[in-house]
A = this chain, B = another copy of it.
Amino acid sequence: MAGKTGVPGTGVTGRVFAVLGAFDAGHRMLTLSEIATRAGLPVSTTHRFTTELVSLGALHRDSEGRFAIGRRLWDLGLLSPVQTGLRETASPYLHDVYGATLATVHIAVRDHENVLYIDAVRGNMSVLIASTIGSRLPLHCTGVGKVLLAHAPGRVVQQVLAGPLERVTPYTITQPARLQRELARVRRDGYATTDQEMTLGACSAAVPIAADGRVIAAIGVVVPSLRRTRARMVASLEVAARGISRSLERR
């Protein structure tokens, strides 16, 4: 969450990225000295960098002198390959699921020991929700996270089971053994669910997306309750997941 304060990184490049790294989801607009503090750099150095970055379009400076990430970086980010193909392919299918369920729909990939949301469709009046596109959440307490973890290499599973399982809500699974059983269930049944394990009042269901026989992503829905709708949700998701897999393979 917090933006890696300190650690100036070895070269100039590292320091430039320390400046850029001062920005995060909770800090989208920063003043010069805030950047300096958060990046762990002297003000004058920071000033020089920001000035140059602004002239390069990597940063934007508003009329009040505050900085924000610029369009140039937005452009560059969109060229990141892994996501691009997947997102564009999956997007229509996410809408299909949304249309069928009116639930918030997500697609996510695993990024080390986190789930990284790469796209989302949410209605006008959907539930709350912690996840936005680009956000990272723990694997063990989200629907898509459980799916991704269940199909991750053993090494990763070990690491997650070993590292403390953060208790996000009273319902979060924090016992390694229980999580392990849950993961086995996910592999057996082909889908994962959560019940208020990440956000109170929110349940989720998720299924894997395969390509070349490997699970590369997961799609899921978030709803207030799964009581009466679990079967329908899972069915919708499975249809979409198959469609996405098929689209990915013919190219």
A residues touching B (Cβ–Cβ < 8 Å)? Answer: 9-14, 16-17, 20, 23-25, 28-29, 49, 52-53, 56, 58, 60, 68-84, 88, 91-93, 95-96, 98-99, 111, 116, 121-124, 132-134
Contacts and interface: CB of A to CB of B under 8 A. Distances in A.
Given A11-B12, A74-B83, A92-B124, 19 more contacts: A9-B56, A12-B12, A12-B13, A13-B53, A13-B56, A20-B76, A25-B79, A28-B81, A60-B80, A60-B82, A69-B79, A70-B80, A71-B82, A71-B111, A73-B76, A74-B134, A75-B77, A79-B134, A96-B124
A17 B56 contact: yes
B132 A88 contact: yes
A102 to B, nearest CB: 10
Q: Dominant SS at the A interface?
A: helix
A123 to B, nearest CB: 6
B70 A23 contact: no
A19 to B, nearest CB: 9
Nearest to A83: B74
Given A91-B121, A92-B124, A123-B92, A13 B52 contact: yes
The 5 A-B pairs with the shortest beta carbon distances in the complex, nearest first, are: A77-B77, A78-B134, A74-B80, A74-B77, A12-B12
Contact of A69 (B56, B77, B91, B99): B77
Contacts of A77: 69, 73-78
A96 B92 CA distance: 14
Contacts of A84: 28
Contacts of A29: 81
Contact of A17 (B58, B69, B98, B121): B58
A28 B80 CA distance: 8
19 contacts: A12-B16, A17-B56, A69-B77, A70-B80, A71-B82, A71-B83, A71-B111, A74-B80, A74-B83, A76-B77, A77-B77, A77-B78, A79-B134, A91-B122, A92-B123, A92-B124, A95-B95, A95-B123, A99-B99
Given A12-B12, A91-B121, A95-B121, A23 B79 contact: yes
A116 B77 CA distance: 15
A79 B29 CA distance: 9
A134 B23 contact: no
A122 B92 contact: yes
